[in-house]
Structure formats: C-alpha cells, structure tokens
C-alpha cells in the first residue's frame, strides 16, 4: 500500500506540474504578444520621428535646391542681382531655414551626433551665403571668379549629404513591410531632383552668361542626363512595385510637367543658343518654367512620405492588436491557474484516489469492494487507446517535421542561388564578404575581389536575342566556376556582371588569377543556333582594405573594371593605392 501511495503522490505531482507548465506556456505566449505589441509601438514611434525628419528635410531641400540654382544663374549674369531674384532667394532661404531647423530637431531625438554634424555643415552654408550675397551685388567683372563654382559645389555637397543621411537612417526600417520601398522613392526622387536641378542650373547659367555651353559644361550635362535616366528608371520600377495610386499619380505628374512641358522647352532654347538665335529673357523663361517642373519631383517625395505614414499606422495598429491579444492571453492564463486545478481535481485526481484506495484494499487482501468508475468512457477509461493515438500522432508529427526540414533546405538553396546560371547570387556573396571582412579584422587574413563583365553584352543581346544571351551567361558561369578553387566563391553580381571572392589571396595573386580566367575565356567559342560566338570579358581586381570596408573595396573593383572597359575591354585592370 505504501508503494501505491508513492504512485499516487507521483501522479499528483505530475498533474500539478502539467497544470503549472500549461499556465506558464500560456503566460510565455502572452508575454511574447505583449513584447511584440510594445516593440511595434516603439518601432512606430521611431518611424514617426524619422518620417517627420524626412518631411522637414524634404521641405528644406525643396527650397534650398531652388536657392542653389537661382543664385548660380545670378552669379553668371553680367549685371548685379535684381530685386526680383533677391526677393525670390530671400523667401526660399527663410522657408529652407525653418524646414531644416525642424528636421534637425526631429533628427536630434534619435541621432544626436549625426544631427550636430549636419547642423554644422548647414552653418557653413549660411556663412557661405553671406559671402555669396556680397558677390552677387557686384557686376560680373568685379566678382571673384571662383565664387559661383564654390557656391554651386558647396550647396550640391550639402544636398548629397542630407540625402545620404536619410538613406542611412532608412536602413533601420528595411524589415518593416513596404516602408523601405517608400524610402527608396524618397531618396531616389531627391536624387533625381538634385540631378535635374544641376542640369537646369548649368543650362540656365550658361544662357545667362552668353548662350553657349562650354565643353566642360556639355560633358557634365551628358553625364547628368545619363544619371537622370537611370534614377528615373529606378523610380518607375519602385512605384510600379508598390502599386500606390497616389504615388503613380505623382509620378505621372512629374512625367507631364518635367518631361512633357519643361524638357522640350529646355531643349528648344539649348538649340537656339547653339545657333546664336537666343533671345533676351530666355534665361528668365527657363527659370520660371523650372519651378513647377522641379516642384513636381518633390511632390513625389511628399507622396512617398505619406505612404510611410500610412505604413506606420498599420504597424501601430498591428502592435496594438498584438498587445491586446497578449493581454487577453495573460488574463486567460491567470484564470487557468485558478480554475484548471479545481477541474483536474474533480475530474481526474479524485477518481484516481478512489482507484488507489481500492487497490490499497486489495493489497490488504480485501477483494470485496467493487472497483469504482469501471463504466466510465472518458479519458481514464480510454487511456490505452489515447496512448496509441498519441504515438501515431507523434509519428506523423516527426514525418511532417522531417518533410518541413527538407523543404527548408531546398528553399535555402533557392534563396542563395541564381536561377539562370546556378551560381551564388548577390545576396549570398554580400553575406560572405561581411564574414571575411570580420575575419580580416580579427585574424589579419587577406582576400581579394575580382569583378568581371561580359564585353558588349547588350549589343550581343540585341543582335542574337535574349535566348542566346541566356545560353552565353550559362556557359560563362560554367567556365568561371571551373577556374575556382574549393574555397573560392563566384557569384552572379547582376545582369552580365560576375564577382569572385578569393580568400587568402593578395592583389598580385588575384591579378594572375583574373588573367588566367580572361585568357581561358578568350579562346572559347560558343555555339548558338547557327552562330559561332567569341565572347570576352573585362576584369577589375581589388584587395580588401579595412579602411574602405566591403562597399569601398567593391567600388575599387568596379572602378578598375570601368577603367578596363573604357580602355579597350578584354583585359585585367588591378586597382592599386596609387589609383585613388
């Protein structure tokens, strides 16, 4: 009977532990819900601060960009600044000062160090304004010849700095739904506005100074137009992906006002200037037309900021829902802690006590007492059947888990491989680069990057078709892989670009490796339909530099690649410190 008592005591302890465990599990889940709710609220609060900061900086940049362009035109003219331009600049400065100060105040709450640096840069701009204003009061012949260039470059540098700050801060919200893409629209539209503002200012100031573009200005303008087309393409893609009606309308507004109205008039006046047919006041017409056209670009940024606010409201709502759910689960767990033990005692513990008591009588030799609860068909009566069902359910669960694990392995493989070539993708290589950068810092190991690009691939694609292009990419991928050591990594970086990560390889070794690959490719012929195709590649080599970091090293390899492209293609260019 004492053994039966110990069994009863053990069962009671296990049931009590089960009840406590169930309550703790529910409390853990409820606590997690509360944590998620609070975290979402914190994220929404931080995002709200960043949104306010971004909106204020947008307003500041809107006015500052116009100030930069108009002053650039003023400093190009023979005569001193007019009253009209002076009033225009004064209004824009006041609006920019107010907006930037509001942006600094919002930014300072979360990023005090960065705010102090940015505020100091704006103070430098304010000091430059004073000197530039003095220059604008003089005729062209009495002005400092470097004043206009200093003004324009300093303002452009400050604009780029603000855009960079916004872009860096938005990296904190990459995992918040579409917020990151809305920030992409903000940053790209600011970039676009800065580029087209540069174009407009160069053209208008040249017209104001006499009509013709200098060779240097013409080269700069061509570069900016290429950059403009690239950023505009990115904007179109991001807006299309977001599917926001408001953003789409704002983008179409830019297309109409900038590309439909302003750009044709700008090109017309440029043509007239080139033919010495420029009429007086053309620069003023250009300046007046530029205001609504360039404002439309920043209206696109405003729409993106409103999209961020909309996403922020959704995050806040989800956080509140999670918080309330967690609170409800917490209350349920407390109720369970009170009522579940009572239920278990009446439903299970007491019947077990009755059975144990009968077993105790039997152990004493008293077999006359009937066994209670023999007619029960609930959990106690069906314990064996329940155990068998539990076993089957566990077997099924294990099979499902194994299948899920295999599926996860397959999905992981898909996520790091390029679908066309089978090589690693950019995302995977970027992660490995960061790992090797950490190893380099901690162990002093070296590694190098080799960036390569198929020569004339676009024209090849246009001539032979994308199907042939895909075959060539696949063949190239096989050839590149065949040159790798076991520890080397080659990935498709994008389009026709590939990149090697060469561990424990210095600059010279990487250059030799790249030349070996280049020479091997140069002699290969690829059959595509009825054509025998010779494909070459250009290579840029750079060794990892801890001062430059991963992004800087990638830029160096890209610069070397570009240098090879510009100097004839089908060659290896090594980036050295002297090339900086």
pLDDT in tens, 360-410: 665 566 656 565 555 666 654 443 233 233 234 433 544 566 786 676 666
> Taking a C-beta distance cutoff of 8 angstroms, is the pair 423, 491 a contact?
yes
pLDDT of residue 150: 92
Residues 318 and 395 reside in one and the same domain: no
Structure tokens at 120: 């100091």
* Range 238-241 contact pairs with CB under 8 angstroms and sequence separation of 24 or more: 238/181, 238/184, 238/185, 238/188, 239/185, 241/181
Asked if the model's pLDDT at residue 563 lies above 70, the reply is yes
- 572: β partners: 539
Nearest to residue 23, comparing CAs of 470, 329, 438?
329
* Residue 385: predicted pLDDT: 34
Query: 500: phi > 0 → left, psi -120 to 50 → alpha, else beta; which?
Result: beta
User: 537: buried, middle or exposed (CB in 10 Å: 19+, 13-18, 0-12)?
Assistant: buried
- Domain, as residue range, for 172: 30-323
Q: pTM (2 decimals)?
A: 0.47
The dihedral built from the CA positions of residue 459, 460, 461 and 462, taken in this order, carries a sign that is: positive
Confidence bin at 72 (pLDDT 50/70/90): confident
Highest mean pLDDT among 187-196, 326-335, 544-553: 544-553
Query: Which is higher by pLDDT, 353 or 422?
Result: 422
Local confidence band at 464 (pLDDT 50, 70, 90 cut-offs)? confident
- Angstrom CA distances, 565 to 223, 282, 459, stand at 17, 40, 15
Q: Are residues 476 and 533 in the same domain?
A: yes
pLDDT at 172: 66
| CA–CA gap between residue 331 and residue 326 (Å, rounded) | 9
Question: For residue 389, is it within any domain?
Answer: yes
Looking at residue 397, its pLDDT comes to: 47
Tokens representing residue 87 in the block:
């009033």
Do both 84 and 121 map to the same domain? yes
CATH of the domain at 485: 3.30.70.270
The answer on 143 and 82 residing in a single domain is yes
* In contact, 526 and 475? CB cutoff 8 Å: yes
pLDDT at 384: 29
Q: Tell me phi and psi for residue 533, to 5 degrees.
A: -110, 135
pLDDT in tens, 201-256: 777 777 666 656 677 777 888 888 898 899 899 999 999 998 889 999 999 999 99
Would 171 be classed as within a structural domain?
yes
Higher model confidence: residue 1 or residue 462? 462
Structure confidence by residue, pLDDT tens digits, 110-122: 888 989 999 999 9
Query: Within this chain, do residues 318 and 386 fall inside the same structural domain, yes or no?
Result: no
Specify whether 395 is located in the same domain as 463: no
Q: Establish if 233 belongs to a structural domain.
A: yes
pLDDT value, residue 3: 52
Q: What percent of the chain has pLDDT over 70?
A: 79
pLDDT of 329 > 80? The answer is no
Instruction: List all residues 6 or more positions away from 249 whose beta carbon is below 8 Å from its beta carbon.
Output: 303
Q: Are 58 and 206 within one domain?
A: yes
Q: What is the pLDDT at residue 388?
A: 30
- Beta-bridge partner residues of 247: none
Find the helix or strand (DSSP H, E) in which 433 lies: helix 426-443
396 lies in the same domain as 518: no
pLDDT number for residue 463: 85
Asked if pLDDT for residue 166 goes beyond 90, the answer is no
Q: Which of 286, 302, 323 is the last residue of a domain?
A: 323
Q: Is the pLDDT of residue 94 over 80?
A: yes
Q: What pLDDT shows up at residue 176?
A: 58
Q: Are 220 and 125 in the same domain?
A: yes
Task: Taking residues 195-204, report their average pLDDT.
Answer: 79
Task: Count how many domains the chain has.
Answer: 3
* 490 domain-assigned: yes
DSSP letter (8 states) at residue 346: I
Per-residue pLDDT, averaged over 412-428, amounts to 86
Closest of 252, 346, 265 to residue 303, by C-alpha:
252
Mean pLDDT of 25-41: 73
In the three-class reduction of DSSP (H, G, I as helix; E, B as strand; rest coil), residue 481 is classed as helix
In a domain, 6, yes or no: no
User: What's the rounded mean pLDDT across residues 435-447?
Assistant: 92
Average pLDDT of 72-99? 89
Radius of gyration over every alpha carbon of the chain, rounded to an integer in angstroms: 35
Q: Do residues 189 and 302 share a domain?
A: yes
216 and 168 in a common domain? yes
Distance from the first to the final alpha carbon of the chain: 90
Same domain, 388 and 281: no
């Amino acid at each position: 009977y004492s053994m039966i008592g110990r069994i009863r005591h053990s069962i009671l302890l296990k049931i009590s532990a089960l009840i406590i465990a169930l309550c703790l599990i529910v409390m853990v889940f409820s606590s997690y819900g509360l944590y998620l709710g609070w975290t979402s609220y914190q994220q929404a609060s931080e995002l709200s601060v960043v949104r306010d900061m971004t909106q204020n900086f947008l307003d500041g940049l809107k006015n500052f960009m116009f100030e930069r362009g108009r002053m650039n035109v003023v400093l190009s003219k023979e005569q001193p600044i007019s009253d009209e331009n002076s009033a225009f600049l004064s209004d824009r400065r006041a609006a920019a000062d107010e907006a930037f100060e509001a942006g600094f105040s919002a930014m300072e709450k979360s990023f005090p160090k960065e705010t102090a640096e940015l505020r100091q840069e704006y103070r430098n701009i304010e000091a430059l304004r004073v000197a530039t204003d003095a220059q604008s009061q003089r005729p062209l012949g009495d002005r400092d010849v470097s004043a206009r260039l200093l003004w324009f470059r300093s303002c452009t540098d400050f604009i780029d700095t603000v855009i960079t700050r916004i872009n860096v801060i938005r990296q904190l919200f990459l995992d918040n739904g579409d917020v990151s893409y809305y920030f992409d629209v903000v940053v790209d539209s600011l970039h676009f506005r800065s580029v087209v503002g540069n174009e407009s200012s160069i053209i208008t100031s040249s017209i104001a100074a006499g009509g013709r573009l200098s060779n240097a200005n013409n080269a700069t303008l061509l570069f900016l137009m290429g950059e403009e087309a690239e950023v505009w393409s990115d904007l179109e893609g991001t807006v299309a992906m977001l599917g926001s009606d408001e953003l789409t309308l704002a983008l179409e507004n830019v297309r109409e006002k900038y590309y439909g109205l302003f750009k044709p008039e700008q090109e017309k006046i440029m043509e007239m200037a080139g033919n010495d047919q420029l009429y007086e006041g053309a620069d003023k017409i250009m300046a007046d037309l530029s205001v609504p056209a360039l404002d439309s670009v920043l209206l696109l940024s405003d729409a993106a900021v409103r999209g961020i606010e909309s996403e922020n409201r959704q995050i806040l709502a989800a956080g509140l829902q999670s918080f309330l759910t967690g609170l409800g689960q917490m209350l349920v767990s407390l109720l369970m802690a009170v009522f579940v033990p009572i239920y278990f005692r009446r439903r299970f513990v007491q019947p077990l006590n009755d059975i144990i008591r009968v077993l105790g009588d039997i152990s004493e030799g008293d077999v006359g007492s009937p066994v209670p609860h023999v007619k029960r068909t609930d959990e106690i009566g069906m314990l064996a059947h329940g155990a068998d069902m539990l076993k089957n359910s566990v077997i099924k669960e294990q099979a499902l888990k194994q299948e899920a694990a295999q599926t996860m392995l397959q999905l992981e493989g898909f996520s790091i491989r390029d679908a066309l070539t089978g090589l690693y993708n950019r995302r995977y290589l970027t992660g490995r680069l960061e790992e090797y950068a950490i190893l380099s810092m901690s162990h002093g190991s070296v590694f190098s990057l080799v960036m390569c690009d198929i020569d004339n691939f676009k024209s090849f694609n246009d001539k032979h078709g994308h199907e042939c292009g895909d075959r060539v990419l696949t063949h190239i991928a096989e050839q590149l892989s065949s040159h790798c050591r076991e520890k080397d990594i080659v990935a498709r970086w994008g389009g026709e670009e590939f990149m090697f990560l060469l561990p424990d390889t210095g600059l010279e070794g990487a250059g030799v490796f790249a030349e070996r690959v280049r020479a091997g490719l140069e002699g290969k012929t690829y059959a595509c339909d009825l054509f025998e195709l010779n494909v070459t590649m250009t290579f840029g080599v750079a060794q990892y530099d801890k001062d430059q970091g991963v992004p800087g090293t990638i830029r160096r390899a890209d610069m070397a690649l570009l240098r090879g492209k510009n100097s004839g293609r089908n060659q290896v260019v090594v980036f050295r410190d002297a090339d900086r």
